[in-house]
Amino acid sequence: MLIASFVAASALGLSWPSLPHSIPFPTEGMHRRAGYKVKTKAYHLEGWEMRIERDGFTGLTRCRLYAPSTVLQGRMTYARDVLGFHLGDDVDVGEAWYSIDDKLPVAWRDDFPTLAARREPLSTDNLFNPTGGVVLIPHDKLDGARTVTIRAGRDQTPKRFRLKGFERALAAARANGCGAAGGEAGSDAFQRDALTP
């Protein structure tokens, strides 16, 4: 009877139950390789999005702080202690003027020396629109500001951007390891471009 059951089991393709494979205990190398991963965290605070990437292999932190475009206003980004106001890829902002809290307008080109000193790229690879449709304003000019109004050209309607929640979002980003509290030493942690393709 016992032999007949073995023959029937083998004919049906059944096999002996196997012992569970031993699971190795985590080794130091396993912990080290797990730490090499790039870990991404995303936060949302008062209309601002924050994405923080920590590279376990290099130890670098890259951050992206931006307000996505809405029906009422375009996208805003922050990097290298400079706020970028996106008016659209097809908009030439070479002759743009901006006004902070409805004060006297200032030509954007007047900020070029300050922006160049902060290593902010002032042009893109687009030959038809080298400005990329982005007006860059140094953060120190916007201390305490509530709105920025930008007119890209003489024949265009001004666009208003509301800065509500920016200072809190920037403080939260710095509290999460993005740059130094003073702004200068760690401002390279912030990037204007997308972190991952």
At 93-137, the pLDDT tens digits run: 888 999 999 999 999 889 888 888 877 776 666 666 667 788 999
Residue at token pair 């007006």: 135
Percent pLDDT > 90 in the chain is 27
Give the predicted TM-score (pTM) of the model: 0.74
Task: Say how far apart CA 49 and CA 72 lie, in whole Å.
Answer: 17
User: What residue ranges do the domains of the chain occupy?
Assistant: 32-189
Count of Cβ atoms closer than 10 Å to residue 120 Cβ: 18
- The residue type found at 41 is K
Judge contact between 165 and 144, C-beta under 8 A: no
**Mean pLDDT over all residues of the chain?**
79
